[in-house]
Amino acid sequence: MKAFEFHTTKSITVERGAAARLAERLRDLDYKSVMIVTDAGVLQTGLLEPTLSNFAELGIAVSVFSEVVADPPEAVIQQGIYAAQQQQADCIIGFGGGSSMDAAKLIALLCNSEQALCDVYGVNAAIGQRLPLVLIPTTAGTGSEVTAIAIVTTGENEKKGVVSPLLLPDLALLDAELTLGLPSHVTAATGIDAMVHAIEAFTSKRLKNPISDSLAKDALRLLSANIHTACQHGENIQARENMLLGSCLAGMAFANAPVGGVHALAYPVGARFHVPHGLSNSLMLDAVLRFNLRDAEHLYAELADVVFPAAVGTPQSRAASLLNYLKYLPQDLGIAQSLREVGISENDIPLLAEDAMKQTRLLINNPREIHLSDAIALYKEAL
């Protein structure tokens, strides 16, 4: 066995209704001033109300920073840092989807730091000590609550990542009750996003290891077995909890065995056309998996055995069954199946491909090398 390291969140709680008891937990840790980072959509749903209800009676000052938007730009992070400094926050809570959790990570990291946001882009550039951090996902998709990365939109159409173990929170709190009201199309896109994390972690060319493999397989098992029920019967709390746990396990896997080509080609789609991250991944999944088949067929066959436990046949036939299942999954779940459906035309492809080739942090993990001409062909296939 090759030597490897594995890192993840210090503490994970899986408990229905736990978000409503957050203030009690924070009181026991002696926090006095808490800032919750979220977005306007979460605020409007009322999801935060049970969580906020008992802060005052427990003597904890609390504020809500709800300026986060999808693919948060640098300006939003700076606003959040300033808000936390003004409040003299001693704990940051990320409450929402991946964007809110990513923003919370960076606010906690930089609130009391001498480093600026521009100083921490890349791998392990962050130094110092962040504020205590709790992450509470309200979607089952990004796995951000267990990853050491945060993504920021820089300029108009480019994304950069901050990668540092300092971004791993002190606590990830998985409360399936928070996901009960998710619309079907959001459940579908975020669920497929989590499946992509599991698949790309399992097939990653770099840092793949026995722990990440086990987590990726179990994540895919949970996600594939529950995604239809969660989309069609959103009130099914067990299916929702299984999706949330599957997303978390996939996040733990790809935090250690990093994702590749699907994400590299999805990021420009999200950055330039403001397509949600999960849907961007879903739109590029089939084309990239078929491109990788030459070099990853045996790995896809192993994953097929997870999705179809009774599968028999050659590795080639089992891998094909997995790819066919994933190809038609967006159609089965009622979400967009082509780039054209989200406003992308053939004229946009050269620029998207150029952007994708800048994602070197991701491309090096793909099981098959992707060149510019390949990226152009893959976008055309996804049209």
What pLDDT, in 10s, does the model give residues 247-295?
999 999 999 999 999 999 999 999 899 899 999 999 999 999 999 999 9
Name the class of domain 184-382.
Answer: mainly alpha
Give the CA distances from residue 38 to residues 45, 70, 77, 103, 144, in Å, rounded to whole numbers and listed in that order: 12, 11, 12, 9, 14
**Residue written as token pair 């080509």:** 261
Where exactly are the structural domains of the chain?
Answer: 12-179, 184-382
Q: What does the mean pLDDT of the chain come to? A: 96
Residues 350-372 pLDDT 10s: 999 999 999 998 999 999 999 99
Phi/psi for 10 (5° steps) reads -60, -45
Give the pLDDT mean for 108-127: 95
Q: What is the DSSP letter of 259?
A: -
Q: Is 12-179 assigned to CATH 3.30.413.10?
A: no
Is the pLDDT assigned to residue 157 strictly greater than 80?
no
How does pLDDT run across 198-255, given as a tens digit for each residue?
999 999 999 999 999 999 999 999 999 999 999 999 999 999 999 999 999 999 999 9
Q: Residue type at 150?
A: A
pLDDT score for 339:
98
What gap in Å lies between CA 364 and CA 371, rounded to an integer?
11
Report the alpha-carbon distance of residue 105 to residue 172 in Å, rounded.
Answer: 12
Q: Could you tell me the pLDDT band of residue 1, with boundaries at 50, 70 and 90?
A: confident
Is pLDDT above 90 for 156?
Answer: no
Of 1-5, 22-26, 376-380, the least confident:
1-5
Measured between alpha carbons, how far is 192 from 326 in angstroms, rounded to an integer? Answer: 9
User: Crossing angle for the helix pair 184-202 and 237-254, nearest 10 degrees?
Assistant: 30
Q: What is the pLDDT of residues 27-36, one digit of tens each?
A: 999 999 999 9
Residues 6+ apart with CB under 8 A from 79: 65, 67
Q: What's the token pair of residue 246?
A: 């599957």
Q: Is the pTM of this model over 0.85?
A: yes
Residues 48-93: tens digit of each pLDDT? 999 999 999 999 999 999 999 988 999 999 999 999 999 999 999 9
Domain 12-179 and domain 184-382 have a common topology:
no
pLDDT reading at 154 higher than 90: no
Show the beta-strand stretches assigned E in the chain. 12-14, 33-39, 61-68, 91-96, 122-123, 133-137, 149-154, 158-163, 171-174
Would you state the pLDDT for residue 237?
Answer: 98
Determine the pLDDT at residue 312: 86
The pLDDT assigned to 144 comes to 97
Token couple for 201: 């972690």
